[in-house]
Amino acid sequence: MTATTRDDTPVAIQGDGVELRTRDVGGGMSVAFVRLPQGTDMGPGLEGLPDDMCQCAHWGYLLKGRLRMRTKDGADVYEAGQAFYWEPGHVPDALEDCEYVDFSPTKEFTEVIDHVKSTMG
User: What CATH number is given to the structural domain containing 88?
Assistant: 2.60.120.10
The pLDDT, as a whole number, for residue 2 is 82
Region of 28 please: left (phi>0), alpha (psi -120 to 50) or beta. Answer: left
The pLDDT, as a whole number, for residue 1 is 64
Assess whether pLDDT exceeds 90 at residue 121: no
Query: Domain total for the chain?
Result: 1
Give the residue numbers spanning the domain of 19: 11-119
The pLDDT, as a whole number, for residue 120 is 84
Residue 32 lies in a domain: yes
What is the mean predicted confidence (pLDDT) over 57-85? 98
> In whole angstroms, what is the distance from residue 59 CA to residue 12 CA?
19
Residue 3 lies in a domain: no
Q: What is the mean pLDDT of the chain?
A: 96
Residue 80 lies in a domain: yes
Percent of the chain with pLDDT over 90: 96
Q: Do residues 49 and 26 make contact, with C-beta atoms less than 8 angstroms apart?
A: no
Residue 2 lies in a domain: no
What is the mean predicted confidence (pLDDT) over 7-26? 96
Assess whether pLDDT exceeds 80 at residue 28: yes
Residue 4 lies in a domain: no
What is the mean predicted confidence (pLDDT) over 28-37? 98
The pLDDT, as a whole number, for residue 60 is 98
Residue 6 lies in a domain: no
